[in-house]
Amino acid sequence: MKRVYALFFFVLIMGCISQQQGKVQSIEDLEGKTIAIPGKATVQDFLLQRFLKDHGLNVNAVIVKPPEMIAVLEKGEIDGFIAWEPYPARAYVEGGHTLLVTSHEIWVHHPCCVVAVREAYLEENKDVVLAVLAAHMKATAFIINNPEDAVQIGTEFTGMSEEVVRKAMETIEFVYEPNYEGIKEYLEALLEMGYVSPDDVGSTDQFLGGFINQDLIQEAATYSCSGLNKTVRIGYLRADLHQLALFVAINQGYFEEFGLDVELYVFSAGPEEMDAFGAQDIDMGYLGIAPATTKRLNLNIPIVILAGVNNEGSAIVVR
């Protein structure tokens, strides 16, 4: 019987040691591991590639939708993932997983979500666009100046706990100015990785000059019309905390102040939202700079970037 117990404890100890050896406990331990990304050409894809290059590492990158990443991680099918908030915070708070690196540590002030508009809609409805931008600016200021109130709105928006939302907001830089230099660097990375064609881009600055409108956000700062009485269709991504400003604007009645009736269209991913732009099913939208850029170039979906929504706000999570 003593031998049986000894054998049992030996197997148990060796199993624990084996598990520890397989865990990612440092950056160097990522070598050869399987890491999930939301998709090719996403900002998170670029962040991971940049991080690996900086540290001389190689991983097996697989594509998993962010809402599914935690479950796949806990099944042991992947060793980690990189995603936007609140998924890293949720993995940390509810799953006890490790936040290995934040995107701030990889690329300071990197662009992420933006506000976009269909070109034709902008030409015909500049007053509505200015009102949406003005509401977006007010909402962003509210988040920055009233973080605890913003957490409460964030829990309603995402359906996640206050602890998760509060943790997630620590890594998100809420903004409204379009991040021209950051988007330019991202576009150059897309060209280098072969995700977009140089023939479609042409001169980088010339393309960005038409793709990013930096003037309207300045004009919106002094916009004051309150009797528009118009409807605008706005798309957004489900439970993406980066896009909190949209729901703050609704919660605080900022759209109503300008006489806007907002019809919301929810999408599970940015490429779907870009398809809706292409089909003219939405007029404006909150979405990631990645699908906005790649589908603008590869499918010639005519949109214009008007404002930033957030910089940073992603992280690498490991078991």
Which residues make beta-bridge pairs with 307? 115
Helix (H) or strand (E) holding 7: helix 2-22
Give the 3-state secondary structure of 136-196.
Answer: HHHHHHHHHHCHHHHHHHHHHHHCCCHHHHHHHHCCEEECCCCCHHHHHHHHHHHHHHCCC
Percent above pLDDT 70 for the chain: 93
Q: Assess if residue 204 is contained within a domain.
A: yes
Candidate from 88-97, 159-168, 218-227, 232-241 with smallest mean pLDDT? 218-227
Q: Is residue 22 part of a domain?
A: no
pLDDT at 22: 57
Positive or negative, the Cα torsion across 63, 64, 69, 72? negative
Q: What is the pLDDT of residues 210-259, one digit of tens each?
A: 999 999 999 999 999 888 999 999 999 999 999 999 999 999 999 999 99
217 within domain boundaries:
yes
Task: Please name the residue that has the structure tokens 């528009």.
Answer: 228
Average pLDDT over residues 89-102: 98
Distance between CA atoms of 90 and 61, rounded to whole angstroms? 21
Q: How far apart (Å, rounded) are the C-alpha atoms in residues 235 and 272?
A: 10
Amino acid 16: pLDDT:
43
Average pLDDT over residues 51-67: 97
Say yes or no to pLDDT of 32 above 90: yes
Query: How many independent structural domains does the chain possess?
Result: 1
In a domain, 13, yes or no: no
3-class state of residue 236 by DSSP: strand
Evaluate if residue 14 carries a pLDDT over 60. Answer: no
CA–CA gap between residue 114 and residue 311 (Å, rounded):
9
Helix (H) or strand (E) holding 117: strand 113-118
Edge-first strand listing for the sheet containing 34-37: 60-63, 34-37, 80-84, 314-318, 98-102
Q: What is the reported pLDDT for 109?
A: 98
Q: What's the mean pLDDT in 178-195?
A: 97
The one-letter amino acid code at 175 reads V
Structure tokens at 25: 């406990």
Domain that holds residue 307: 113-311
Please report whether residue 223 resides in a domain: yes
Q: Describe the strand order of the beta sheet including 303-308 as a list of residue ranges.
A: 260-267, 230-237, 284-288, 113-118, 303-308
The SS3 assignment for 63 reads strand
Q: CA 242, 48, 203 angle in degrees (round to 5)? A: 80
Asked if residue 21 is part of any domain, the answer here is no
Q: Which amino acid is at 75?
A: K
Structural domain includes residue 101: no
Q: Is residue 272, in this structure, part of any structural domain at all?
A: yes
Mean pLDDT score across all residues of the chain: 94
Reported pTM: 0.91
The reported pLDDT for the residue numbered 19 is 44
DSSP strand pairing (80-84 vs 260-267):
unpaired
pLDDT at 2 > cutoff 50 = no
Distance CA 188, CA 202 (A): 12
Banded model confidence at residue 167, pLDDT cuts 50, 70, 90: very high
Give the DSSP letter string of 262-312. Answer: EEEEEESSHHHHHHHHHTT--SEEEEEHHHHHHHHHHS---EEEEEE-EEE
Q: Is the pLDDT of residue 134 over 80?
A: yes
Q: 234 — alpha (psi -120 to 50), left (phi > 0) or beta?
A: beta
> What one-letter code names the amino acid at 4?
V
pLDDT value at 7 more than 60: no
CATH number of the CATH domain containing 251: 3.10.105.10
Average pLDDT over every residue of 177-202: 97
